[in-house]
Amino acid sequence: MNKNKFEDVLIDIFSDLNVNNFQVEYSIKKFFLCGGEINIANEKTPSFRDRFMRHTAQSYDSIYNAIVLAESFKDYFKENVYTDLLVFERDIANIATLVIIILESPGALVELGMFCNKTDLYKKLIIVANQKHTEHEDSFIYLGPLEYIRRKDPTSVAEYPWNDSVQKNDYDSLEDLCSVINDKIEKYPSSERLKVDNSGHISFLISEIITLCYPILIGEIELIFLALEIEISISQIQRSLYLLNKIGVISSRKYGTSYKFYYPLIKDKKTVRFGGTKSGRKVDSLTLRMAINQSFINETDQLSGRRVNVLKLINSSLLVTV
């Protein structure tokens, strides 16, 4: 079966790239936030997480805009994208810049239990505990996971006093928490060599592929991984696409019968730099993007026509949202 011109160009481009030169760029900051109830309509602010959201919305745009609420992923089990909760938690942690867990709900305690043994993730973990619970040294949480994590990384545990209703000292606590977050971000690496066994790195690579090649189908993303000689299952690609969509990095548009095209929402942020090709040439993303566009814009086959139509729709929708 003959491949279309679009696929031929993808194979030519990506088979010439050297995966050993790939560098993951942490240019997009996302903070996974778990904790108590959020209810903007309730002036009594039912939880410390709610107060944190309100505080950052007013005073810390960079933090507020990076927050992804745990509730955003409540449909992770649908369509069998994820059938294993532990795999889901691992992938979330790998793609997030920070994982912030405010211990004030049963769900947050479950998250704590899942992350406390993942020592490789402590660099991006912040556990926020209520001093009312930790000041009693016979507390299971105090004697158990929190102390273990604190010994491994003191910057991963923060304690503050708070009550069920808003208090005057909440402002100082929230200000300090924002400082803890910013300090943690400052120590976060700006880039790292691509590791193919890191699901977060694979997601960032898929994000860069979509930015370079959109509108693109999932089967074409799989073809690119074959050209790169990276072994990856279609289910792993589906999981990455789900997460990238949920954190607002990509989106998709259906067109025709069973066609679902993916495209970027943040085109000005590189998530992977390709470095040099196998022959030593420097990779110019703009030149590659132009070559990919030319592979379908003037073609007359049905799939190319659909791709052109979807590209027009995507560009018009992106202009509206800017």
Give the percent of the chain with pLDDT over 90: 65
Beta bridge partners of 17: 277
Domain positions in the chain are 5-25+192-321, 31-186
Q: CB under 8 Å to 293, separation ≥6 — which residues?
A: none
- Residues 313, 124: Cα–Cα separation, whole Å: 38
| pLDDT (average), residues 108-137 | 81
Q: Give the pLDDT band (50/70/90) at residue 320.
A: very low
pTM of the model: 0.91
C-alpha 293/C-alpha 140 separation (Å) is 59
CATH of 31-186, one of 1.10.3470, 2.40.160, 3.30.479, 3.40.50: 3.40.50
Q: Do residues 308 and 297 lie in contact, with contact meaning Cβ atoms separated by under 8 Å?
A: yes
Q: Is the pLDDT of residue 251 over 90?
A: yes
* Residue 31 confidence (pLDDT): 97
Strands 67-69 and 31-34: parallel
Fold of the domain built from segment(s) 5-25+192-321: Arc Repressor Mutant, subunit A (1.10.10)
The confidence score (pLDDT) of residue 312 equals 94
Work out the mean pLDDT of the chain and round it to a whole number: 89
Q: Own/partner pairs for 162-169, CB < 8 Å, 24+ apart?
A: 162/48, 162/51, 162/130, 162/132, 164/46, 165/44, 165/45, 166/44, 166/45, 166/51
Chain segment 195-221, per-residue pLDDT in tens: 999 999 999 999 999 999 999 999 999
For residues 290-300, average pLDDT: 94
Residue 228 has pLDDT above 70, yes or no: yes
Return the pLDDT at 137.
Answer: 55
Please determine, for residue 143, whether its predicted confidence score (pLDDT) is greater than 80. Answer: no
Percentage of the chain lying above the pLDDT 70 cut? 94
5-25+192-321 and 31-186 share one fold: no
